[in-house]
Amino acid sequence: MNILRRNRIEDSARNIIGKIPGKRRAATAIFYVGAVILGIASGFSESVFLHDLMDFIATVFTRLFSFIAVPIIALALITTLAKLGKGSESGKIFVHTIFYTLLTTIISALVAASLFLTLKPENVPSEMSGAVDPNKIVNASYFDHILNVIPNNLLQPFVSGNVLSVLLIAAAFGIAIAVMPKDAKRDAVVNFIEGLQNILFILIRWLIVILPIGIMGFTAKLIAELEGGIMLGGLATYFAVVVGSNLIQMFIILPLILFIRGLNPLKVARGMLPAIAVAIFSKSSAGTLPVTMASAEDNLGVNPKVSRFVLPICTTINMNGCAAFILVTSLYLIQNTGVEITPITIISWIFIATIAAIGNAGVPMGCYFLTISLLSSMNVPVLLMGVILPVYAIIDMLETGVNVWSDASVCNIVNKELKDKI
């Protein structure tokens, strides 16, 4: 039996990894390295035309990121909420899932905020951050900010890129669809939304294919700024905060929560190791889902009723790593505009990052797109996101590993708590 279980997990892992042929992975790596090399060469070039071209490319990709992010966020949240179960059994599982999803995500944001305040990454010069008048960002009361989130027009939030309003609209639509009678009309609505989501996923895949061009433009812009005497030491600390907060969440916070709930963290980690490994390699929580479910059921004996309900939901909304990235990146970019980071600002962003992470699309670089869109809607310059882009692949790998590990932790906790109730 153990052999059969092991073979099932191994087959699932091979299927996931097999979707990315070795030659394609090697070619992708070559393209990315080549893009960075060309970007460096262009940055050191004396050609004004080449510098203008690289600036143009960087601007185009920043706009493309913003364009794709808002609709994909809305559709991801609508489809997730629309599929909520109404049965008593499903309801119990869902309540527990949401509780631990919110708990782990909020803690992840809190850890990131604490590390940000501890290490205090320095600002980069205004030439690189694209700093603007801080009053353009904070020239409103907190009541005004709340009112700005509440839309008075269905389309305006999408046109203006107001992500928080979009999340509110998406949540309302998703819950409304969930409570609709299960008939042909409801199925038609869900199928239509899923169809739109699939179209956007195709657009994202196309964008990722040409991403090396964008990396070349951003790298060239960075090198040109560095050559002009601009120092970016604060960015190293920023990266340390992002990576450090994810590592703390993975190796300290999640094991501690498991221990408090009566589970052996080492046993759970050993059982879920195949899923975590595939997640890091593939950078896709959704793509890792078959391995995650097989590992939970076969290695740890999780009830299929729990794993096949909890894990698909968590794959969509349980984004611990994304919450940390959104919070740290947003605070850092806001700080670079000259805005003082107050306790109220941090508390606000803990909740914003948590909600935004729940609305994040489970696609490669989804968190990156979301952060750009969120900041753009608040008139925060996003030029520094171009500097972050060349190394985001590494951050994305770590984030995905943390996300899947958190999914597994929530699933095992829910399974234990509802063991005798379902």
273-275-280 Cα angle (round to 5) = 95
60-72-349 Cα angle (round to 5) = 90
pTM above 0.85, yes or no: no
| Dihedral sign (CA 259, 394, 297, 88) | positive
Tokens of 57: 């490319």
- Residue 328, pLDDT > 90, answer yes
Provide the mean pLDDT of the chain. 79
Share of the chain above pLDDT 90, in %: 23
> Which pLDDT value is given to residue 240?
93
pLDDT in tens, 334-364: 998 888 888 888 988 898 888 878 766 555 6
Nearest to 72 by CA among 361, 345, 375: 361
If you ran DSSP here, which 8-state letter would residue 297 be given?
Answer: I
- Residue 3, pLDDT > 80, answer no
Structure-model confidence comparison of residues 124 and 26, the more confident one: 124
> Which pLDDT value is given to residue 171?
79
> Which pLDDT value is given to residue 251?
97
Residue 160: what residue type?
S
- All structural domains of the chain, each given as residue ranges with its CATH number in brackets, are 2-417 (1.10.3860)
Residue 407 φ then ψ, to 5°? -55, -45
Residue 340: what residue type?
E
Residue 204 near residue 72 (C-beta atoms within 8 A): yes
Q: Which of 42-46, 106-110, 300-304, 379-383 has the lowest mean pLDDT?
A: 379-383
Provide DSSP, 167-232. Answer: HHHHHHHHHHHHHS-SSHHHHHHHHHHHHHHHHHHHHHHHHHHTHHHHHHHHHHHHHHHHHTT---
Q: Which of 12-26, 173-187, 204-218, 226-240 has the lowest mean pLDDT?
A: 12-26
Euclidean distance between CA atoms 407 and 250, whole angstroms: 11
* pLDDT grade for 267, boundaries at 50, 70 and 90: very high
Tokens of 365: 């670089």
Structure-model confidence comparison of residues 195 and 381, the more confident one: 195
- Residue 18, pLDDT > 60, answer no
Tokens of 422: 């379902």
pLDDT in tens, 112-169: 999 999 999 988 765 544 444 444 444 444 455 566 667 787 777 777 666 667 778 8
| Dihedral sign (CA 267, 270, 271, 277) | positive
> Which pLDDT value is given to residue 137?
44
At 85, is the secondary structure helix, strand, or coil?
coil
* pLDDT grade for 7, boundaries at 50, 70 and 90: low
Please give the span between the terminal C-alpha atoms of the chain, in angstroms, as a whole number: 25
* pLDDT grade for 407, boundaries at 50, 70 and 90: very high
Residue 414 near residue 306 (C-beta atoms within 8 A): yes
Nearest to 364 by CA among 325, 392, 385, 402: 392
Question: What is the average pLDDT across 376-389?
Answer: 74
